[in-house]
A and B are shown apart, each in its own frame.
Chain A
Amino acid sequence: MSFELLEKFRDPDLCRKILDKMESELDRELRFMEVCGTHTVAIFQSGLRSLLPEKIVHLSGPGCPVCVTHESEVNAFLDLAGRGNVILATFGDLMRVPGDKGRNLKKAVADGARVKVVYSPFDTLKLAKENPGDLVVFIGVGFETTAPTIAATMKMARDQGIANLRILCFHKTVPTALDALLADEAINIDGFILPGHVSAIIGVKPYEFIAENYAKSAVVTGFEPLDILQSLNQMIEWRNQGEAHVANNYTRIVGENGNPKALEIMYEVFEPTDALWRGLGLIPGSGLEIRAEWESFDAKKEFGIEIKDGPSLPGCKCGDILKGIKQPDQCPLFGKACTPANPVGPCMVSTEGSCAAYYKYKLD
């Protein structure tokens, strides 16, 4: 997308108009959750957060894959770091995520572990070719956005006869998690800003249950200030009319049916499975697992890794934050024991985590 066009979605005058309109139409507090961490950051970075009407409570949901990576998943990849013939490949976000006993990948590297930060899963093909005597294990963390690229990488590896690539598959799917959130009575959300990137893959239909089963609104939304304001405004209007809808406000990128090709390749390689989410616990059918035909790629099988629920990090309120029950600065550790330099939970590590966004951008 050209910059000129993008600038239109940042037009300060138009934003002001919508903000004023929202202000006049709000008769009570409304609670909106943005599912995706990129939205959290966009809302802070653009300064929107400081401009939104006070009656809008803005909550950050479980939409950053780093934040929802379960403790035992973190420990699993930390256990692999430093094993003789293993080269771990990962996106940069995971380097500082804390595991048990104060471990993280940065420290593992300092202790001699071979860890390579990659920008695309395809980079792992080259890495595997260059290190034929080693096993390259890619840490597959992410949602429907990343899973298809990883599936494509696995297919290419098979076509090219690369036998030393493994995937540690911790992929999760977004709609199932939202269903679990909505089913939780402790949670009080009036509407959702739905992720742009994830929706570009899965389309809009998988979210329709939000209006049908729970009578809440949800809008697939882009990352510019006007995108976000328009979606919020739309949901306020529906609410005032006593209606609930699921809509697509990001039509310049997201088609109604998403990207069928990407979905096809994703389900060719992966199948749904139960998954553990940090702070949310076990959500049936919310994960992806490597299909039996592709099990030669499966690092969990290769290394006998089992993911089990256990006690979470002491003090960390990530769960309440991911569910929108608490705001980051209501966590007793926020800004004290837990800072980006010394994160207790992943919400403080990830660039898209809500605690990190609060710490980084919030003025008071």
Chain B
Amino acid sequence: MARRIPLSPQAQAVLAAMPSRRTVLRGALAGGAFAVAGGALAACGTKGTNGNTAGPSAGPLCTVADLSATERKVAFSNWPAYMDEDEKNAEVHPTLVAFKAKTGIDVSYTADINDNNEFYGKIRSQLAACQPIDRDIVVFTDWMAATFIRNGFAAKFNPDKVATFAKNLAPTLRSRQFDPNMEYAAPWQSGLTGIGVNTGVTKEVRTVDELLTRPDLKGKVTCLTEMRDTMGFMLMSNGKDPGNFTTADFDAALEKLKAAVASGQIRRFTGNDYVQDLAKGDIAACIAWSGDVIQLGFENDKIKLVTPDEGMMLWSDNMLIPITSPHAANAMALIDYYYDPKVAAELAAFVNYVCPVAGAQEEMVKIDPDLAQNPLIFPNAEMQAKIKIFKPLTEAEEKEYTGKFQAAIGA
């Protein structure tokens, strides 16, 4: 939840009660998702939804005429609180207004993605049947972007139309295994996962092992329900690289987590809702997302994001063009626009996540010199050396690991 304006505790409590990006209550809040699950049960057994079993290499699922030249518009679906807002009217997004002025392309922007699984479920069967989904850009987190591309649902970028993207994408994000040639996925924002500490309640925490074993933290630690974030740390604390590990490594790391659950060290597994508890001091330390903790730090300087000695996890939310988009060229123009360092800096100054655009830091100096020096928005060399990215999983691995992890956290 990227929020710019410090909110009152009451307002925050209300926000926390609303569907947030990575909330635990995926299904509870997003009742629509049940319809998704129901849809998948609609036959005696199901056909695979992977319409293109050979993956993107087998060529596109279908071809759609590009109407970009005549229809000067593009439909963009994104996560909530992920776009700059005008001070007076939150419905107005200055960077999008500037885009229209520059290109004449009208953007219809909707913040209707709350959950990767839910949103993917909503559009999956239409894409598999080659039907339009009325969206030209959708945003998925790395692992779901990988699935999206693997199933052949992502349209390939035209290199001529995304030259700025090709030039300015941050070096750390260039050779991602699910999109090695930067053909399908353009990071919108990235985030770091580290350890959030309320130093008003406890002394600093340096390592994941401290988090899992220090007696004074017992019952005052939370971890994330997002498997990759939590298990990334468990793997790192076992000396393994989350970018490259075996099933045995995963199982060993999971045992470590289970032991901490059984001993009562870990109080809960949370989505975004750790934010309130950390601020109140009910929890002393937790695995946390950078954007959240930066925001909390503005309000309470006792709350800090610690880079554990083992390292930090980096994830990205990626812009993808669905295969059935009739405005792919417009979508590419929009993607390219956000890789202009000036635009990227304007956006990053608002959302406070890790900016994936090289050169934006120099532009940020002009907007807010403090933010430009924040390694959690613009990771410095020292930080970059500690960043780890979770390896891409096959669907079978995904099911196995998520299944084991969910069982370990009691759900």
The answer to whether A and B interact is no
Q: Which residues of A contact B (CB under 8 A)?
A: none
Q: Which residues of B contact A (CB under 8 A)?
A: none
